[in-house]
Amino acid sequence: MKNTTNESYDSNQSRREFLKLLGVGTATISLLGISGCFAEQQTLRLSSSGTLDIGAANWKNVEKLLNIKLQFTDNGNDTGPVLANMINGNAAYDFDISGLQGGIERELALANKILPWDTSKIPLLKESWDWVKNIPHCFINGKQYGLPVIINADSVIYLPDEVGYKVDSYEVLFNPKFKGRVAMEDSWINSVIFTAIYLKENSLLPINIPGDLTETELGGVMEFMIKKKKEGQFKTFWKGWEDGLRLIRNKEVIAMTGWEPIQIEAKKSGINCEYAVCKEGYEGWTNDMVLHVGSEKKGLVDIAHKFVNWQLSGFYGCVMSEEKGYIVPNNLAVDYAKTDKRYNPDLIQSKIQHVKDKFLSNKVYWQNTRPKNYKLYEDWWTKLRNI
Amino acid type, 152: N
- 316 C-beta neighbours (distance < 10 Å), count: 25
Residue 72 host element (H or E): strand 68-74
Q: Which of 271, 258, 243, 306 is CA-nearest to residue 38?
A: 306
| One domain for residues 139 and 169 | no
d(CA 336, CA 14): 15
For residue 156, CA distances in Å to 26, 55, 78, 190, 195 come to 44, 26, 19, 12, 12
Whole-angstrom distance, CA of residue 256 vs CA of residue 248: 8
For residue range 261-273, list pLDDT tens digits in order.
899 999 999 999 9
Give the C-alpha distances (Å, rounded to integers) separating 250 from 127, 214, 268.
41, 38, 13
Chain centroid to CA 366: how far? 13
Q: Are the C-beta atoms of 330 and 312 separated by less than 8 Å? A: yes
User: How many beta carbons lie within 10 A of that of residue 202, not counting itself?
Assistant: 14
Together in a domain, 307 and 371: no
Bigger pLDDT: 324 vs 19: 324
**262 lies in the same domain as 339:** no
Q: What is the dihedral of CA 219, 223, 226, 230, to 10 degrees?
A: 160
Per-residue pLDDT of 151-167, as tens digits, reads 999 999 999 999 999 99
Rounded Cα distance, 276 and 225, in Å: 21
- pLDDT for res 7: 38
Are 96 and 170 in a shared domain?
Answer: no
Helix-helix angle 374-385:188-201, to 10 degrees = 100
Q: pLDDT tens digits, residue range 58-74?
A: 999 999 999 999 999 99
Whether the predicted pLDDT of 2 surpasses 80: no
Per residue in 203-217, pLDDT (tens digit) is 999 999 999 999 999
Supply the range of the domain harboring residue 159: 154-281+364-385
Contacts of 267 (CB under 8 A, 6+ apart): 273
**E strand or H helix that includes residue 291:** strand 282-292
User: Residue 345 is part of a domain; what is its CATH number?
Assistant: 3.40.190.10
Which range is least confidently modeled, 5-14, 71-80, 181-190, 317-326?
5-14
One domain, residues 256 and 354: no
pLDDT band (50, 70, 90) for residue 19:
low
β-pairing, 97-101 vs 282-292, is antiparallel
Q: Do 138 and 271 fall within a single domain?
A: no
Whether residue 172 sits in one domain with residue 131: no
**Closest CA relative to residue 147, chosen from 309, 39, 325:** 309
Total number of domains in the chain: 2
126 and 158 assigned to the same domain: no
Cα 289 from chain centre: 10
Q: Are residues 371 and 353 in the same domain?
A: no
The SS3 assignment for 365 reads strand
Over residues 97-118, mean pLDDT: 95
Beta carbons of 129 and 330 less than 8 angstroms apart? yes
233/297 same-domain check: no
Tell me the mean pLDDT in the region 94-112: 94
End-to-end CA distance of the chain: 48
Instruction: State if pTM tops 0.75.
Output: yes
Task: Cite the DSSP H helix spans in 104-232.
Answer: 105-110, 130-133, 160-163, 171-174, 188-201, 215-230
303, amino acid identity: I
Distance, CA of 29 to CA of 84 (rounded, Å) = 37
Residue 39 has a pLDDT of: 60
Closest to 50 measured CA to CA, from 8, 120, 99, 92: 99
Let me know whether 137 and 160 are in one domain: no
Residues 350 and 312 in one domain: yes
* Number of other residues whose CB lies within 10 A of the CB of residue 325: 20
